[in-house]
Structure 1
Amino acid sequence: MTTIDPDSPRGPLDDLDLQILREVRWLWESVDPMPGDLLDRVRFAVELEDSDVEVVRITERREVAGVRGDVRSRLITFAGDTLDFMVNVQARGDGTLRVDGWLSPPAEHPVEVRTSDGRFRTRSNGEGRFVLDRVPCGLVQFVIRPMDRTSAVSTPTMTL
């Protein structure tokens, strides 16, 4: 059995140590507090039940002005090892979004948008195009399940 010398840096914490740790915690909570929705974001990201998932990366994000009026949309491009895709996200004005997407290489695949309000599913057509309407604004994650594979392709969780 080994004993710890109370005078060594590895000794037990005393009241001064605990006070210093409380002040360090207060400092970080004051200067850089944890976002209020961090736990929800972590739970949301971990919920994806597939352990074999290819996570694509965002390669481009642009704001696009509408043709008529001041309607704006966001064009987001994702790139992965086996699948690339692009989505055009347009706010509907009622707290929901219309999502138009294109997969490359084009094929028919199940497409899912995970939100904090639930899952919205559709299927891309033979040209790789898909549409989801009335997707709630907020945290989202796109999940494509290519028909020729057992693993899914997923985006990082993001706020739309």
Structure 2
Amino acid sequence: MEPDNRDQGEFEPLDSCDERILAVINELHRRDDPVPYDLNERVHFVLELEAALDAKVASVYRPAELTLVRGEAELTVNQGDPASITFDCETVTVMVTPRPSALEEMRLDGWIGPEGTYGVELRSPQGVRRVSTDASGRFVLEGLPNNEMFQLVIRPDEALQRDGLPAVVVTPAVRL
């Protein structure tokens, strides 16, 4: 025997059967695809940055793997340190390598190209840390909390800006 659905329309109020179905769907989402615990933190982080800066945004660069073939043997060669993250925009490339430095702390080694002096700002929920690069574009940030979201704000010096670099480059937020 089939249920009588003729009087039920799509705009009818929810009944107890609808509520049970929605409760099951809600539980599946809560269990299998929960809202990230730090979602609010991430949203505030991005909104603050957008409000404070009018900047070029770099994207995460993922090079294709090179594959060498000789005879029937294949060898895959990855470019760079597997822990490294490279950010790229039209005129600036930033590569960072996070490494554990102490219990629950990270060290971030970074290189910016083209060579020159840059101001580097690391923004995280813990606050802002600032360093300058050496003349080759290298920088180090130590004592960073492990497993935190961070974003870099890069400010080339005036000479590099005269050479065509933007005043500010911002990386996407990533987790250490």
Do both share a fold (TM > 0.5)? Answer: yes
Give, as a single letter, the amino acid of the residue that structure 2 aligns with 1:52: A
Decide whether the 8 Å contact of 2:58 with 2:87 is kept in 1: no
**Is it true that 1:85 corresponds to 2:87 in the alignment?**
no
Per mean C-alpha deviation after superposition, the further-off stretch among 106-115 and 44-53 is 44-53
Tell me which residue corresponds to 2:153: 143
CA RMSD of aligned residues (A): 2.5
Q: 1:53 to 1:8 in 2, by over 3 A?
A: farther
**Residue correspondence of structure 1 range 88-127 to structure 2 within 5 A:** 88-127=97-136
Tell me which residue corresponds to 1:13: 13
Decide whether the 8 Å contact of 2:57 with 2:172 is kept in 1: no
How far is 1:51 from its partner?
A: 4.1
How far is 1:46 from its partner?
A: 3.0
How far is 1:113 from its partner?
A: 1.0
Q: 1:133 to 1:27 in 2, by over 3 A?
A: closer
Could you report, residue by residue, the CA deviation over 1:25-57 in whole angstroms, capped at 9, with x for unpaired residues?
A: 222112222222222233233331324341321
How far is 1:91 from its partner?
A: 1.2
| TM, length-normalised to structure 1 | 0.73
Give, as a single letter, the amino acid of the residue that structure 2 aligns with 1:39: N
Give, as a single letter, the amino acid of the residue that structure 1 aligns with 2:170: S
- The count of corresponding residues between Structure 1 and Structure 2 is 143
The alignment partner of 1:62 has SS state of coil
Decide whether the 8 Å contact of 1:56 with 1:153 is kept in 2: no
Decide whether the 8 Å contact of 1:115 with 1:136 is kept in 2: no
Decide whether the 8 Å contact of 1:59 with 1:79 is kept in 2: no
Structure 1 gaps of 5+ residues are 1-5, 64-73
Could you report, residue by residue, the CA deviation over 1:9-38 in whole angstroms, capped at 9, with x for unpaired residues?
A: 2x2532244443333222211222222222
Tell me which residue corresponds to 1:69: none
| TM, length-normalised to structure 2 | 0.67
Q: Distance in 2 between matches of 1:23 and 1:35?
A: 20
Q: Percent identity?
A: 32
Q: Distance in 2 between matches of 1:75 and 1:88?
A: 4
**Is it true that 1:155 corresponds to 2:171 in the alignment?**
yes
Question: Which one has the largest radius of gyration?
Answer: 2
The alignment partner of 2:81 has SS state of strand
Structure 2 gaps of 5+ residues are 1-6, 64-79
Tell me which residue corresponds to 1:132: 141
